[in-house]
Structure 1
Amino acid sequence: MKEPSYREHALRILPWICVRCAREFPGSRLRELTVHHKDGDHHHNPPDGSNWELLCIYCHENEHARVEDARAGGGGAEPGAAPATHKPLAALGELLKRKRGG
């Protein structure tokens, strides 16, 4: 039996939500959800998914454009701007526990 791709594995263990814009993706629209490697190494695929995040195609494109801008010397963020601190999935584990009755 063929081992599942990292995309198949990520879609099995991660919620179908873009971690940047927080849009949800039902099964009929999963093709619009991509797996982004946090460290940029497409060969680093730990089974716990710790190097992956699901991004919609638009946010994924934006993420890679930001990396390219930074390489070219562009600043990206405004000087002195505070980093984003919102964590849209922070309470997901607790919510799922309550929903399961545990």
Structure 2
Amino acid sequence: MSKPTPPDRPQTGKTIDTDRLDRVVVAARRARDEREQGYREQALKLYPWVCGRCGRTFNHANLRELTVHHRDHNHDNNPSDGSNWELLCLYCHDNEHQRYEEHIAASSKGAGQEASSQTTHRPFEGLEALLKRGK
């Protein structure tokens, strides 16, 4: 049931459901506690707020742009000592994953194959014959 607005608050014609507000506050605190147990919060406590690649420093205002990178690319490998983590800014983290994806793609294509078997277009094929004909 709704309760009237307390007298110390301006009257806006709206009522505040304090039970609902209490539930929201409790849920927010619980979510914060769960996040602090997560690997991101642990990494932020272990390491300085600096990107491990570009050296950009972070503060509370822009901390959301600092991410935790798993060095072995296994997001389930989260040792409590942080040995599989490094803090990277959004841009360096994206770059690191792009490099990893390119490495995997190159490995799966079989980089040891000869270039001639991969090349299908020969732009100068028949050029020698054309040059000899012109003499």
Q: Same fold (TM over 0.5)?
A: yes
User: Deviating runs (4+, > 2 A) in structure 1?
Assistant: none
Separation (CA, whole Å) in 2 of partners of 1:24 and 1:56: 9
Deviation at 1:70, TM superposition (A): 0.9
Deviation at 1:73, TM superposition (A): 1.1
What is the aligned counterpart of 2:98 among 65, 69, 72?
A: 65
Aligned residues: 74
1:63-96 Cα distance to aligned partner (Å, 9 max, x none): 000011111218xxxxxxxxxxxxxxxxxxxxxx
Separation (CA, whole Å) in 2 of partners of 1:52 and 1:7: 9
Unaligned runs of 5+ in 1: 75-102
SS of 2:80's equivalent in the other structure is coil
SS of 2:62's equivalent in the other structure is helix
Deviation at 1:53, TM superposition (A): 0.1
TM-score by length of 1: 0.68
SS of 2:106's equivalent in the other structure is coil
Q: Match for residue 27 of structure 1?
A: 60
Q: Match for residue 4 of structure 1?
A: 37
Which one scores higher on RCO, CA 8 angstroms, separation ≥ 6? Answer: 1
TM-score by length of 2: 0.52
Decide which structure has greater helix share: 2
Q: Match for residue 47 of structure 2?
A: 14
Q: Match for residue 4 of structure 2?
A: none
Task: Give the letter aligned to residue 46 of structure 1.
Answer: P
